[in-house]
């Protein structure tokens, strides 16, 4: 039997289903299969969010100790008595490795003259450790350690880590009277002190969240692809927060002497991102991107979609050719 004849037989058998119920059942079945397919391969796959933010304040809870370590060069301390004797240099500054403990909270605040790094060490979590070349590892005393990195040495530092449940910025809130009117703060470190030019805040100056889809095929997941139009502008004065514990938030923050805001870049699962902002009653918002946009830009689905398109085209072409041939025979 030739191909046109086979196709004709198939067509005749389908058209012989005179009862509409068959068509309804077939349509419902096919819809279900396609929906399940889209659900498993598109909707259930959480996109990845890339947050690029400019904020004066970032904080996170240490989730992976070693990944949260960072080095400091020439940092000043608010309270020198919290660290072991001898690990500060001749000018009372710290140059070495800071290893926050699991469960500690690390906060970065950019003031006009210094980057303030605060380690909060809640009871029950392991103390942060300081390591300086040639000295024994030093456990930090107290429940909080404030390290101040002067602007002039910021360019000697690598980006600082953010690995764990975190918050970027703080929502524009009800303002209270300033605690201290002056912006030049004299920090009393017990050794003559030093001045810090305070910045108002904390404030998120602006942020962009880009979503990337993940491909999913029968063989697994793994490829990222940009979802078109899935770019969210986060308004100034919002707070971006990750919800889950443990969180997938991973990224870095850099501080520059000539920039008021910190440059923050983190990735995390899009379902974790919460946006808090002043507005109406419901002030917590999540990101969402349409299944349509995700489906049609998913490279994993492209071969299937192309195969369906080619099949449909060939089928139509063959049917048309068959019609032409029959028409010629009929005329003869």
Partner 1 sequence: MLRAFFVSVMFAMPGDVVAQDVAVTSLSGSVNEHFDTTARVAGSRLVSVRLGTARGLAFDPSNVQVVRPVSLAGVCVRSISRDGLYWMRTYYGVEATASGKRLLIEPFTSSLDQILRSYGEGEIAIVAFSSVDASCLDQSPLVLPVLVPEGAPDRIEVLLNSGSRRISAGLDGGEQVVCVTPQNIERIVFDSICTLAVVLSDRPTQRVLQVAMDDGLTVVREDYKIFLPAHQ
Tell me: does residue 198 bind partner 1 (CB under 8 A).
Answer: yes
Closer of 42 and 149 to partner 1 (Cβ): 149
Interface segment toward partner 1; rule CB under 8 A; list 92-100, 171-179, 215-223, 255-263? 171-179
Cis amide prior to 202 (ω within 30 degrees):
yes
Of the residues 47, 161, 202, 213, which one makes contact with partner 1 according to CB under 8 A: 202
Q: E-strand spans in the chain?
A: 48-55, 57-61, 70-77, 94-99, 105-110, 114-120, 129-131, 138-139, 144-150, 160-163, 166-168, 184-187, 194-197, 204-217, 220-234, 239-242, 250-254, 262-269, 273-276, 284-286
Binding footprint of partner 1, residue count (CB under 8 A): 35
Of the residues 170, 249, 264, 273, which one makes contact with partner 1 according to CB under 8 A: 170
Tell me: does residue 111 bind partner 1 (CB under 8 A).
Answer: yes
Tell me: does residue 144 bind partner 1 (CB under 8 A).
Answer: yes
Question: How far apart are the C-alpha atoms of 186 and 201, rounded to whole Å?
Answer: 18
Question: Are the C-beta atoms of residues 34 and 40 closer than 8 Å to each other?
Answer: no
Tell me: does residue 274 bind partner 1 (CB under 8 A).
Answer: yes
Closer of 120 and 230 to partner 1 (Cβ): 120
Work out the angle at residue 237's Cα, subtended by the Cα atoms of residues 50 and 54, and round it to the nearest 5 degrees: 45
Closer of 108 and 232 to partner 1 (Cβ): 108
Tell me: does residue 317 bind partner 1 (CB under 8 A).
Answer: no
Tell me: does residue 93 bind partner 1 (CB under 8 A).
Answer: no
Closer of 183 and 322 to partner 1 (Cβ): 183
Residue 169, helix vs strand vs coil: coil
Judged on CB neighbours under 10 Å (0-12, 13-18, 19+), 118 is: middle
Binding interface with partner 1 (CB under 8 A)? 57, 78, 107, 109, 111, 116, 118, 120, 144, 146, 170-176, 179-180, 185, 187, 196, 198, 202, 239, 243, 274, 276-281, 283-284
């Amino acid at each position: 039997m030739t191909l046109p004849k086979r196709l004709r037989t198939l067509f005749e058998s389908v058209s012989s289903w005179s009862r509409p119920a068959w068509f309804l059942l077939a349509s419902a079945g096919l819809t279900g299969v396609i929906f399940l397919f889209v659900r498993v391969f598109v909707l259930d796959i959480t996109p990845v969010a890339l947050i690029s933010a400019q904020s004066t304040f970032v904080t996170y809870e240490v989730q992976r100790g070693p990944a949260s370590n960072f080095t400091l060069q020439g940092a000043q301390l608010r309270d020198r008595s919290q660290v072991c004797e001898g690990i500060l240099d001749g000018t009372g500054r710290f140059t070495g490795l800071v290893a926050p403990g699991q469960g500690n909270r690390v906060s970065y605040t950019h003031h006009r003259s210094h980057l303030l790094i605060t380690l909060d060490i809640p009871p029950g979590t392991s103390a942060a450790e300081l390591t300086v070349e040639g000295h024994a590892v030093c456990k930090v005393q107290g429940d909080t350690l404030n390290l101040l990195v002067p602007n002039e040495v910021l360019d000697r530092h690598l980006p600082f880590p953010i690995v764990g449940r975190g918050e970027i910025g703080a929502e524009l809130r009800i303002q209270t009277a300033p605690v201290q009117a002056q912006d030049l703060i004299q920090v009393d470190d017990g050794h003559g002190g030093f001045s810090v030019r305070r910045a108002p805040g904390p404030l998120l100056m602006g942020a962009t969240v880009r979503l990337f889809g993940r491909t999913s095929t029968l063989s697994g997941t793994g490829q990222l692809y940009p979802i078109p139009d899935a770019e969210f502008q986060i308004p100034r004065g919002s707070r971006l927060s990750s919800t889950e514990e443990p969180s997938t938030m991973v990224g870095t923050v850099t501080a520059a002497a000539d920039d008021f805001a910190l440059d923050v870049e983190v990735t995390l699962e899009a379902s974790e991102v919460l946006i808090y902002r002043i507005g109406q009653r419901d002030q917590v918002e999540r990101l969402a991107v349409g299944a349509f946009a995700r489906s049609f830009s998913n490279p994993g689905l492209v071969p299937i979609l192309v195969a369906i398109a080619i099949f449909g085209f060939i089928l139509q072409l063959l049917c048309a050719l068959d019609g032409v041939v029959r028409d010629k025979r009929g005329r003869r």
